[in-house]
């Protein structure tokens, strides 16, 4: 099915049921089984580049982080390594390369990937052909036992609702049709704002799936020790406002211009995620700038080791690492947050 056909189908849904919230539009555009952005792509580098696709050092240092947490957890004989939204599988491959340096951890590891897209699952199997992995729909389906959970640029594709205050009343942004049957943004009648948001202006976003995620982590960590580490972009404490963006072929495009053909993303509400996790009595560390975390985990040491091993590519590799850690590039805009079982105490590296 082409992007045009998905647009027609969305228009038909709106004609039948009325304007849809941004969250439903986002869900259809990303995950429709026939035409959704992730459902129909085995990769996305044409459209945007993530940290693991920028430098192998990103995944390798998360491998180091995993080794440190495993040691802190008392070297459990079995450790679930669970990745949420693994994309092409690059980060897991790089983590596992580093984890090979901890032979006992390598033996203890059981790898689970939480991935919605069937095509990306196939791509992950190819990337990780040398390893035993399993795919699951939800973190609830991962095996029991101690766990390290990681997710890079996973939270920013969770569907958001958007609210706008007009003349003192909050209204929800919706996707509707104009007289020419083109997709357009509009506003609902007045609604109550979901509780717990911290708007700093007349616009605010809400990600209902964050509640679900914290519920799942709380349930899991009440039975098995574990730490989750998410890296993404978004404000530290305030709720994001009007941050829905679409990317296609490296360019930012209008979110309604090519449903299913462009990636849709929004800033992560780190403040709300941290607040929900704290309210559930989980341990929260961060958000901490990605560059600070990677430097603490030894980015410059890894840069030297890789450069010495491959002098012909040393400058190129250094430039890629600089992209990850430099505050002017990804180092400050991207942040890491760790959410853990309270019994584990503060996460190392924060």
Q: Which residues form the interface with ligand SAM (CB under 6 A)?
A: 38, 50, 52-53, 85-87, 91, 114-117, 120, 152-154, 157
On whether the CB atoms of residues 62 and 150 are closer than 8 A, the answer is yes
**CB-wise, 60 or 153, nearer to ligand SAM?**
153
Specify the residue, 114 or 204, whose C-beta has the smaller distance to ligand SAM: 114
Smaller CB distance to ligand SAM: residue 20 or 187? 20
Q: Shortest Cβ distance from residue 45 to ligand SAM (Å)?
A: 9
Shortest spacing between CB 203 and ligand SAM, in angstroms = 24
**Please, which residue, 38 or 65, has the CB nearer to ligand SAM?**
38
Q: CA dihedral in degrees (214, 49, 335, 123; nearest 10)?
A: 30
Q: Which is nearer to ligand SAM, 91 or 280 (CB)?
A: 91
Give least dist CB 12 to ligand SAM, A. Answer: 24
How many Cβ atoms are within 10 Å of 228's Cβ, its own excluded? 26
Nearest residue (CB) to ligand SAM, 17 versus 137: 137
Backbone angles phi, psi at 227, to 5 degrees: -130, 140
Least separation in angstroms between CB 77 and ligand SAM: 28
Query: Residue 247 Cβ, how far from ligand SAM at the closest point, in Å?
Result: 10
State which residue, 112 or 117, has the beta carbon closest to ligand SAM. Answer: 117
Tokens of 267: 């800033």
User: Which positions ≥6 away from 115 have C-beta within 8 Å?
Assistant: 85, 86, 121, 124, 135
Nearer Cβ to ligand SAM, position 73 or 84?
A: 84
Q: Which is nearer to ligand SAM, 19 or 21 (CB)?
A: 21
Nearest approach in angstroms of CB 119 to ligand SAM is: 9
Least Å distance between CB 53 and ligand SAM? 5
Q: Least distance in Å: CB of 340 to ligand SAM? A: 20
Q: How far is the CB of 202 from ligand SAM (least distance, A)?
A: 29
């Amino acid at each position: 099915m082409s992007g045009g056909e998905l647009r027609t189908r969305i228009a038909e849904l709106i004609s039948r049921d009325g304007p849809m919230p941004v969250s439903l539009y986002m869900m259809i555009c990303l995950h429709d089984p026939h035409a959704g952005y992730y459902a129909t792509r085995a990769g996305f580098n044409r459209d945007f580049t993530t940290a693991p696709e920028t430098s192998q050092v990103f995944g390798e240092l998360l491998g180091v982080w995993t080794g440190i947490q495993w040691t802190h957890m008392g070297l459990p004989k079995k450790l679930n390594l669970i990745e949420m939204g693994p994309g092409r599988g690059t980060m897991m491959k790089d983590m596992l390369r580093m984890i090979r340096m901890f032979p006992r951890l390598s033996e203890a590891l059981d790898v689970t990937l939480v991935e919605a897209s069937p095509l990306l699952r196939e791509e992950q199997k190819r990337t990780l052909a040398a390893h035993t992995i399993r795919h699951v729909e939800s973190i609830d389906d991962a095996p029991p036992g101690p766990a390290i959970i990681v997710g890079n640029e996973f939270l920013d594709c969770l569907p958001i609702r958007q609210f706008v205050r007009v003349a003192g009343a909050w209204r929800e942004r919706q996707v509707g049709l104009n007289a020419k049957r083109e997709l357009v943004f509009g506003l609902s009648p007045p609604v109550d704002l979901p509780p717990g948001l911290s708007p700093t202006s007349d616009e605010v976003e809400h990600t209902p799936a964050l509640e679900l995620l914290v519920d799942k982590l709380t349930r899991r960590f009440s039975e098995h020790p574990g730490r989750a580490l998410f890296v993404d972009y978004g404000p530290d404490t305030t709720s994001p406002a009007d941050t829905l963006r679409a990317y296609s072929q490296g360019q930012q495009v209008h979110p309604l211009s090519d449903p299913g053909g462009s990636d849709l993303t929004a800033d992560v509400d780190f403040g709300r995620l941290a607040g929900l996790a704290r309210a559930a009595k989980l341990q929260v560390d961060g958000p901490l700038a990605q560059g600070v975390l990677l430097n603490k985990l030894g980015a410059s040491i890894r840069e030297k080791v890789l450069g010495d091993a491959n002098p012909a590519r040393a400058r190129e590799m250094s430039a890629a690492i600089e992209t990850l850690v430099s505050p002017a590039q990804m180092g400050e805009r991207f942040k890491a947050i760790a959410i853990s079982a309270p019994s584990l105490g503060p996460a190392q590296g924060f």
